[in-house]
Amino acid sequence: MDQFIQSILLPGLSQGAIYGLIAVAFAVLHLTTGVINFGHGQLVVLAPIIILLSAAAGVPVWLAFLLGFAALLIAALVTEVVAIRPFVQSGSAVSWILSTFGVSIVLTEILAIPAGGEATYFPFGIPSDPFTLWGFRVSWAELSTLPALLLVAVLLTVFYRATRVGRELRAVGEDVQGAEALGISRARASQITVLISALIAAVTGFLVASSQILLPNLGIFFLFYGFVAVSMGGMNSILGAVIGGLVVGLVSQATAVYIGPLYGNLAVFTLLVLVYVVRPHGLFGARPVREV
């Protein structure tokens, strides 16, 4: 039992919280714009890599963090203008999949230029030195991800229920034309949601950089794992994204331990197929009404 907690439950939940954060960002964006940003995984690793590069160039650490955050915001806003805003609630999935996919290709490749695709260690994060707690080897970096996910989820739930802007964002997701007739701007709504998802990406990136080695091509795995998590919960549900992320984390960790590290993707892929076979609209998703 202890062995199970040590090698599967703790790392699985910790890693699952990262996937949960990505899934929550997907849910936030999808709720309002109907778009999944295929470049979100790259946004996650963007800030830490920029911080590392600037620090290596001799920039003070606080300024490096500022630069990294600024780069993340700029990348998110550019993505929004070129690849998300034109397709808000448009229904033509192929267009936005391809254009956000294009952005993700560009970001991955730009990030790979300085590092040459090499793995990098991030020294400015939450300490990852292991210590013993109730008989388990843990680290602060590992322990911090789940509380961060829960905090983000609670804040977002409050934001969507209790604030005017949050309700407006939901209104755009329900009915763009109706919301526009009430004076809510589609462009502004899409911009605000992308900014929220960029903030979540900043948190995710900090946690990721603290606990694991950075690679520019991690983005595509984050995209896939986060997507499996969000579709398990039902595209627009924040609670669903949290649960989905944790399940994905546990499943991939268990597979990596019991079968082999190269079979993690296969297990998550199988999970996605299972979701589609058993519950195509997710745990908390509503079946769309078909209209003739």
Q: Which residues contribute to the site for another protein (CB under 8 A)?
A: 36, 82-83, 86, 93-99, 101-110, 112-113, 220-221, 223-224, 227-228, 231, 260, 262-263, 265-266, 268-269, 272-273, 276-277, 280, 292
181 burial via Cβ count (<10 Å: 0-12, 13-18, 19+): exposed
From the CB of 101, what's the least distance to another protein, in Å?
6
State which residue, 1 or 94, has the beta carbon closest to another protein.
94
- Assign residue 260 a region (left: φ > 0; alpha: ψ between -120 and 50; beta: otherwise): left
By beta-carbon proximity to another protein, the closer residue of 72 and 103 is: 103
CA 248 to chain CA centroid, Å, is 13
Residues 6+ positions from 277 with CB-CB distance below 8 Å: none
Identity of the residue, 5 or 102, whose beta carbon is nearer to another protein in the bound complex: 102
Those residues with Cβ within 8 angstroms of residue 74's Cβ, 6 or more apart along the chain or in another chain: none
Q: What is the DSSP letter of 129?
A: -
Least distance to another protein, CB of residue 103, Å: 6
- Rounded CA-CA distance 214/209 in Å is 6
**H or E segment at 28?**
helix 10-33
Q: Closest distance between another protein and the C-beta of residue 240, in Å?
A: 15
State the minimum distance, in angstroms, from the CB of residue 238 to another protein.
19
| Of 181 and 277, CB closest to another protein | 277
What's the DSSP call for residue 136?
A: E
Compute CA 78 distance to the chain's CA centroid, rounded to the nearest angstrom: 18
In whole angstroms, how close is the CB of 158 to another protein at the nearest point? Answer: 28
Q: Which helix (H) or strand (E) holds 180?
A: helix 176-181
Tell me the closest approach of the beta carbon of residue 67 to another protein, in angstroms: 21
Q: Least distance to another protein from the beta carbon of 92, Å?
A: 8
Q: For another protein, give the closer residue by CB, 114 or 128.
A: 114
Measure the CA angle with vertex 224, ends 94 and 204; round to 5°.
Answer: 115
Structure tokens at 11: 């790392």
Nearer to another protein, 139 or 252 (CB): 252
- In terms of CB distance, is 154 or 266 closer to another protein? 266
In whole angstroms, what is the distance from residue 176 CA to residue 34 CA?
A: 11
